Amino acid sequence: MRICAFLTETAGFSPRKLIAGTICCILTTFLNVSVSPAQETNIARVLLNLKNMINTSSDGAFIVIGSNTVQDLDLISWSQELSKVVEKAVGIKTPYGVGHSVKIMVENGDPAAPGRVLIEEQDGGGNIALSLRIFNYDRVDVAVAGETMCKLLLKGYVLSCRDKGKEADSDASLVGRKKSADVPQWFYCGMARYINQDQRPDDAESILMRWRRGHLKTLPEMLDSEPEEKAYHCDAAYAMIIAWLQTLPDKSEFFGKMFGSLDSGEKLSSEWFVKNIPGCNSVSDLSEEWENWLTSQLKVIHKPGVATPLSVDQLKERLVIRPDDIGMPSSSNITTKITFDELINAKIKEVPWLPLVLQNKTAELKLFAVGRGKELNQVVESYCTFLDAVARGKRQGTLLKYLQKAKKDLAALETKVGVGNTPQDDK
Give me the tens of pLDDT residue by residue for the chain, a chain 427 residues long: 232 332 233 334 344 444 444 444 444 443 444 555 555 555 444 444 444 578 888 889 999 998 788 889 999 999 999 999 999 999 999 999 877 889 999 988 777 788 999 999 887 656 778 999 999 998 999 999 999 999 999 999 999 987 665 554 544 454 445 688 899 999 999 999 999 999 999 999 999 999 999 999 999 999 998 766 666 568 899 999 999 999 998 999 999 999 999 999 999 999 999 999 988 999 999 999 999 999 999 999 999 999 999 999 999 999 999 888 888 887 667 778 899 999 999 888 788 889 999 999 999 999 999 999 999 999 999 999 999 999 999 999 999 999 999 999 999 999 999 876 554 444 4
For residue 170, is it within any domain?
no
Q: Measured between alpha carbons, how far is residue 166 from residues 4, 155, 158, 162 in Å?
A: 39, 17, 13, 6
Strand partners, 122: 129
Last residue of a domain, one of 251, 266, 300: 300
In a domain, 404, yes or no: yes
Distance of CA 295 to the CA centre of its chain: 20
CA atoms within a 13 Å half-sphere pointing along the CA-CB vector of 263: 20
Query: Do residues 219 and 322 share a domain?
Result: no
Do 318 and 329 lie in one domain? The reply is yes
**Model pTM score:** 0.79
- What domain range is 19 assigned to? 2-52
196 and 296 housed in the same domain: yes
The one-letter amino acid at 279:
G
**Residue 135 and residue 192 in one domain:** no
Residue 152 to residue 75: CA distance in whole angstroms: 15
Q: How far is CA 249 from the centre of its chain?
A: 19
**Domain-located, residue 164:** no
Query: Are the beta carbons of 82 and 117 closer than 8 angstroms?
Result: no
Q: How many domains, the chain? A: 4
Considering the domain architecture, whether residues 392 and 341 belong to the same structural domain is answered as yes
